């Protein structure tokens, strides 16, 4: 028999349920992402449809995690634009767009990844209380380092995915030494910027949001 929830836990769960029930700006992006999956599959094929489906999944994850509205909207918009830019060959027409997308998207995804780790209990919140107040702690600095490290790791995995996609799925996916190094550089810069913003109290919620108070 499951243990009954404590009153504080019940109140926290009720608050989270109410927040999920309220429409937020990012929901408009989710609707656009869902429509894009259908259009992508019908008009551009399975590869584009799969990429857009991943974008939809990312926007739904942000909603489920209760990401701050600014992060939710920015992440959904950036990743949706990035996916369509690839499908419509905007990266070939605008040489700077690829690096800009890697920089911004990596930073936003890194922040969401850090939020995911916190929700799973793998990492402490940026404003976590310390067990020993006599020792010097910098939880926000640590959160920034984790965000940056996760962002760099994800940028690397993305480049591996591009190589796999070019080799196995579609040779129109652009790869090459210069492209890979420049994308990794942009992604690293984006991850570090995101880490700085998290350390300064931006992108992720303050302590009252983590505790539900």
**pLDDT tens digit string along 115-162?**
999 888 888 777 665 544 555 667 788 888 999 999 999 999 988 877
- The predicted pLDDT at position 45 comes to 87
CB-based contacts of 170, cutoff 8 Å, min separation 6: 47
Q: What is the DSSP letter of 135?
A: S
Instruction: Taking residues 65-88, report their average pLDDT.
Output: 92
Does the pLDDT value for residue 179 go beyond 80?
no
Which whole-number Å values give the CA distances from 35 to 4, 81, 183, 194, in the listed order?
41, 13, 28, 29
Instruction: Taking residues 187-208, report their average pLDDT.
Output: 82
Instruction: Please tell me whether the overall predicted TM-score, pTM, comes out greater than 0.75 for this model.
Output: yes
Number of other CB atoms surrounding residue 50 within 10 Å: 15
Number of other CB atoms surrounding residue 138 within 10 Å: 11
Angle between helices 26-44 and 69-87 (to 10 degrees): 20
What are the pLDDT digits (tens) for 3-48?
444 454 455 555 555 555 577 888 999 999 999 999 999 988 888 8
Mean pLDDT for the chain?
81
Report the number of secondary-structure helices (H) and strands (E) in the chain. 9, 0
């Amino acid at each position: 028999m499951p243990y009954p929830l404590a009153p504080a836990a019940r109140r926290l769960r009720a608050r989270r349920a109410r927040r999920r029930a309220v429409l937020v700006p990012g929901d408009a992006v989710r609707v656009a992402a869902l429509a894009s999956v259908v259009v992508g599959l019908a008009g551009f094929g399975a590869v584009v449809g799969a990429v857009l489906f991943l974008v939809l999944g990312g926007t739904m994850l942000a909603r489920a995690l209760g990401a701050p509205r600014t992060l939710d909207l920015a992440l959904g918009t950036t990743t949706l634009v990035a996916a369509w830019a690839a499908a419509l060959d905007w990266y070939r027409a605008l040489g700077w767009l690829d690096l800009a997308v890697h920089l911004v998207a990596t930073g936003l995804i890194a922040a969401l990844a850090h939020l995911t780790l916190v929700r799973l209990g793998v990492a402490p919140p940026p404003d976590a209380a310390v067990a020993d107040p006599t020792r010097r702690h910098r939880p926000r600095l640590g959160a920034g380092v984790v965000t940056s490290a996760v962002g760099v790791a994800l940028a690397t995995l993305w480049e591996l995915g591009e190589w796999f996609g070019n080799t196995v799925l579609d040779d129109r996916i652009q790869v090459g030494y210069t492209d890979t190094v420049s994308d990794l550089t942009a992604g690293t810069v984006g991850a570090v910027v995101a880490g700085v913003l998290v350390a300064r109290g931006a992108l992720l919620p303050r302590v009252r949001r983590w505790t539900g108070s």
